Amino acid sequence: MPSAFANKTPPGGGTFGGGSGSGSNTSSSGGADGATVFASAGGVVFDRSKNGSGPSAGAVTPTTSWTPPACYYAPKYTPKALESQMRQVWESSAPSPEWSLQSQNYFVNGHPYKEFNKDKTGKGYWWDSYITKGREADPAAQDCDKQPFWVDKGAAPPADVSQAITPEMLAQLAYAEIRVPSTKVSLAPDGTTKVNLPTWAWLDTTHFKPVSVTASVPLLNLSATTTAEPVSLTIKPGTDDAVTYPASGQCEIHGGQIGEPYVKGKADETPPCGVKYLRSSGDGSYKLQATITWKISWTSTTGQGGGLPDGTFGADQNVVVQEIQAVNR
């Protein structure tokens, strides 16, 4: 039985089938060719042209237990496409006679649809469920268990379909596609520092500009853009025998800059962002962890928008600390 009709219960029992299309796609177009909807597999198209890139880029981790939707409903079939799918199912040996009769009553015999709504061709689409990429094994992905349903162009989906795609859901799906650059910080001294010597830390802000991803359903002329903007850097020295600057270890962004590059003559000053190790790392090194917090917000073509949970992305780097009490720089 085609995957588009697995795990759904038709009126009176049996199995229709649930959409298993992935919501993460690279296509930038959508439409219909008279036989099938091709707004990309999953109904949602992503524009990642303003996203972070490079081998060290990665997804942010929400600072709360929040997650994007595991499944959603969106346009999927024209009447002709759905008829083709269902007739293949009915002609196979997989469905039981009871299931075939129930589904034929549902789509063909007027309970509630007649002849796949072919008289409405070009006036709407059959909507079905999709599972968000990476959430296939999530039990929440099974919550979208309704049978395919018809929605006229310009009309709202049925009120009882809570997972029908919305601008905010598009923003949440775009959140999962956000990629941000690595958080390796510049240090002075670099690589090897000294006990009781303040080590300055800063980030090259040219690599830490806002990034964004736009998610859209072209067939609905609906889109939302999710933007991630860096707001702070948190430093964890990798040992309790250390002091951070500031004491919280959280370096705020000021004037578009995270921390301050060290320049000659500031050896006796306290860095606005950095760390001072109080004990040698011996024959090894400490793993300094630098984590950027990104503020996440969204806008949409409907005028709706707002905030989403902050996200974080971090990386470790080795710092060797030697037992020398004073050094002239």
pLDDT of 173 reads 97
Instruction: Tell me the two tokens of residue 70.
Output: 């595991």
pLDDT at 325: 53
> What are the tens digits of pLDDT across the range 130-159?
999 899 999 999 999 999 999 999 999 999
266 — pLDDT class (breaks 50, 70, 90) = confident
* Residue 204 binned pLDDT confidence (cut-offs 50, 70, 90): confident
Q: How confident is the model at residue 179 (pLDDT cuts 50, 70, 90)?
A: very high
Stretch (H or E) spanning 103: helix 97-107
User: Could you read off the pLDDT of 51-74 as tens digits, one per residue?
Assistant: 998 888 999 999 999 999 999 999
Residue 211 has pLDDT above 50, yes or no: yes
User: Is the separation of the CB atoms in 275 and 288 below 8 Å?
Assistant: yes
Hey, which bits of 168-267 come out as E strands?
186-188, 192-194, 199-203, 211-217, 222-236, 242-245, 250-254, 257-259
| Whole-structure pTM value | 0.83
Report pLDDT digits (tens) over 83-121. 999 999 999 877 889 999 999 999 999 999 999 999 999
Kindly indicate the confidence band of residue 190, based on its pLDDT and cuts at 50, 70 and 90: confident
Question: Per mean pLDDT, which of 25-39, 183-197, 270-284 is the most reliable?
Answer: 270-284
Cβ neighbours of residue 190 closer than 8 Å, sequence gap 6 or more: none
Per-residue pLDDT at 184: 84
Question: Mean pLDDT over all residues of the chain?
Answer: 86
Pairing of strands 222-236, 211-217: antiparallel
Pick the residue with more confidence: 25 or 195?
Answer: 195
Question: What does the alpha-carbon distance between residue 169 and residue 183 come to, in Å, rounded to a whole number?
Answer: 29
Would you state the pLDDT for residue 178? 97
What's residue 329's pLDDT? Answer: 52
pLDDT at 123: 95
Distance between CA atoms of residues 172 and 167, nearest Å: 9
pLDDT at 5 > cutoff 50? no
Provide the phi-psi class of 77: left if phi over 0, else alpha when psi is between -120 and 50, else beta.
beta
pLDDT digits (tens, 9 = 90+) for 215-264: 999 999 999 999 999 999 999 999 999 999 999 999 988 777 888 899 98
Share of the chain above pLDDT 90, in %: 70
